[in-house]
Amino acid sequence: MALIDTTPQWQALAAHWQRMAQVHMRDLFAREPDRAKRMSADAAGLHLDYAKHIATDETLKLLLELARAAEVEGWRERMFAGEHINSTEDRAVLHVALRNRSNRPILVDGADVMPEVNGVLNRMRDFSNRVRAGDWQGFTGRPINDVVNIGIGGSNLGPKMVCTALTPYQSEAPRPHFVSNVDGTHLAETLKGLDPSTTLFIVASKTFTTQETMTNARSARQWLVDGLGSDAAVRNHFVAVSTNAEKVTEFGIDTENMFGFWDWVGGRYSLWSAIGLPIALAVGFERFEELLAGAHEMDEHFRTAPLEQNLPVLLGMLGVWYIDFAGAATHAILPYDQYLEHFPAYFQQGDMESNGKHVTRDGARVPYHTGPVVWGQPGTDGQHAFYQLIHQGTELIPSDFIAPAKSHNPMGDHHAKLLANCFAQTEALMRGRTLEEARDGMLAAGLDSAEADRLAPQRQFDGNRPSSTILMEQVTPRTLGALIALYEHKIFTQGIVWGINSFDQWGVELGKQLAGVILGEIEDGKPGADHDSSTAGLLEWYLARR
């Protein structure tokens, strides 16, 4: 496989950046009155404005030529056709099958996976209805009031993010809680105030071997058994979500209380599977289905829309533009909706675990940059924290602004102010403020000319800082589903262009292995001989004080 940076399409973009680096978006907007109209698109209930980018029609044309040279369309088909595009693990990548509401057959190794997918969905429906109706009872015959999901990474961040995002749709009970960190504080603080007789634990782990999850699950089990005075209580209070029936049984959960999924569902793409059980329990199965429907609508858009109007492809390629040609190292996700507070953290894993890769699918080291550092937090808090650097720092940080037209909590002029801030930030980032504007503003405010001259460089903004704005009518299960799928396919598009495998995560292995070795040494009370002096010193310091 030829490296993408050796293609004429890549080289054309490199040359194009040399020209575009001299262009200011302000001038593009001045020259092109219809810019916003041309550079915006709608799909699956989302409105994307991508006019505030350092990009012309020529830029987009070249970026899409690069996407075609990388065979984005072909790879997209291979993914939907169930081919083993996760080559290092020899697996299909089919989170799209989990939300395939059309029920169109999707084949993996010749067999249609839809009957099994629908089978698990039916069990989730039945179980969540029973728990929500109080028909599933705890060991002492009481209904379930609290659900504690024990999982980490993809087995935590997705359901946690969605449950929070859909808070307005939650019933009073059962209330969802999430424990992920192996730090005992996380479990201890979560269990404070919970009653074992009305608490249900979901042990969520694809592999059912993850150290953090199994440690938390064992401690939660102990808490329950201590609280209810019988091992037999586990049956009423523990269910598992996993692909590993053997380990689930070994832990002591009957496979009757296990919800399965498949190796073709990546952890960070798994909220659509039984990993989404906390969502169904919190908001009801119908709402969970609406989430799937929204994602499916985006899948269909991604699968069928021409690249020129394809939202995930456009976002993905604009990302490539900044990362590989303009030198951006990070990407900010800035939701203007408090309910989306965990959205940036969710896609931190989604993006960084997928595209944080340094070799191609063939094992060649990539000579270009791949996935960016993804970060962010909800507006307007971020404005009073890190936006200064986005506006006037020396880093180029492409940012996504995400906002709903309607709040779930209409309250005076809060929402108008929230959105005014959102739009104003994108405008300020794009437009900036010239030295003259800064100076004139200060003179108009009564400063003398020497003072205005002194302060003008501080108050000048270069502008030309790119952003995309994604709007939706309201954060609903449906629009949220579409929004998540939009980002998933954006990540896919970028991974294909970079020629990497976005669906494995070997980079997390080494730390896990070494933690196992060090844990043994901590248990033995002395550091092993193989450590560097820093690690050995840290261990000794800890062992002397624990």
Cβ proximity to ligand F6P: between 213 and 479 the closer is 213
Chain residues 462-491 in contact with ligand F6P, contact rule CB under 6 A: none
Nearest C-alpha neighbor of 98 from the set 499, 488, 495, 500: 488
**DSSP 8-state assignment for residue 274:** G
273 sits near ligand F6P (criterion: CB under 6 A): no
360 sits near ligand F6P (criterion: CB under 6 A): no
Q: How many C-beta atoms lie closer than 10 Å to residue 422's C-beta?
A: 22
Shortest Å, Cβ 210 to ligand F6P: 3
Cβ proximity to ligand F6P: between 342 and 439 the closer is 342
Shortest Å, Cβ 356 to ligand F6P: 11
The angle formed by the CA atoms of residues 245, 355 and 374, to the nearest 5 degrees, is: 105
Question: Which helix (H) or strand (E) is 546 found in, with range?
Answer: none
Question: Do you find a cis peptide bond into 88, omega within 30 degrees of 0?
Answer: no
> Which of these ranges, 82-90, 149-157, 172-180, 393-401, lies near ligand F6P under the rule CB under 6 A?
149-157
Shortest Å, Cβ 249 to ligand F6P: 16
Q: What are phi and psi of 330, to 5 degrees?
A: -135, 165
Nearest C-alpha neighbor of 371 from the set 330, 315, 313: 330
Answer for which of 91, 206, 361, 490 binds ligand F6P (CB under 6 A) is 206
Shortest Å, Cβ 348 to ligand F6P: 12
Shortest Å, Cβ 205 to ligand F6P: 3
Query: Cα–Cα distance between 317 and 498 in angstroms, integer?
Result: 11
271 sits near ligand F6P (criterion: CB under 6 A): no
Answer for which of 45, 154, 294, 432 binds ligand F6P (CB under 6 A) is 154
205 sits near ligand F6P (criterion: CB under 6 A): yes
Chain residues 502-521 in contact with ligand F6P, contact rule CB under 6 A: 505, 508
91 sits near ligand F6P (criterion: CB under 6 A): no
276 sits near ligand F6P (criterion: CB under 6 A): no
355 sits near ligand F6P (criterion: CB under 6 A): no
State the first-to-last Cα distance of the chain, in angstroms, to the nearest integer. 53
452 sits near ligand F6P (criterion: CB under 6 A): no
95 sits near ligand F6P (criterion: CB under 6 A): no
Q: Is residue 151 a contact partner of residue 162, using CB atoms and an 8 Å limit?
A: no
Cβ proximity to ligand F6P: between 99 and 268 the closer is 268
Shortest Å, Cβ 154 to ligand F6P: 3
Q: What are phi and psi of 201, to 5 degrees?
A: -105, 135
Retrieve residue 285's tokens.
Answer: 């199965």
155 sits near ligand F6P (criterion: CB under 6 A): yes
Cβ proximity to ligand F6P: between 158 and 382 the closer is 158
210 sits near ligand F6P (criterion: CB under 6 A): yes
The 8 Å CB, 24+ separation contacts for 386-392 are 387/425, 390/332, 390/429, 390/465, 391/428, 391/429, 391/461, 391/465, 392/461, 392/462
Q: Which amino acid is at 6?
A: T
152 sits near ligand F6P (criterion: CB under 6 A): yes
149 sits near ligand F6P (criterion: CB under 6 A): no
357 sits near ligand F6P (criterion: CB under 6 A): no
**DSSP 8-state assignment for residue 167:** G
Number of residues that bind ligand F6P (CB under 6 A): 14
The residues near 440 (Cβ < 8 Å, ≥ 6 apart) are none
> Which of these ranges, 53-61, 76-84, 199-207, 530-538, lies near ligand F6P under the rule CB under 6 A?
199-207
Cβ proximity to ligand F6P: between 170 and 349 the closer is 349
Rounded alpha-carbon distances, angstroms, from residue 298 to 68, 107, 136, 489 = 20, 20, 35, 9
Bridge partners of residue 471, in order along the sequence: 47, 403
Residues of this chain that bind ligand F6P (CB under 6 A): 152-155, 205-207, 210, 213, 267-268, 353, 505, 508
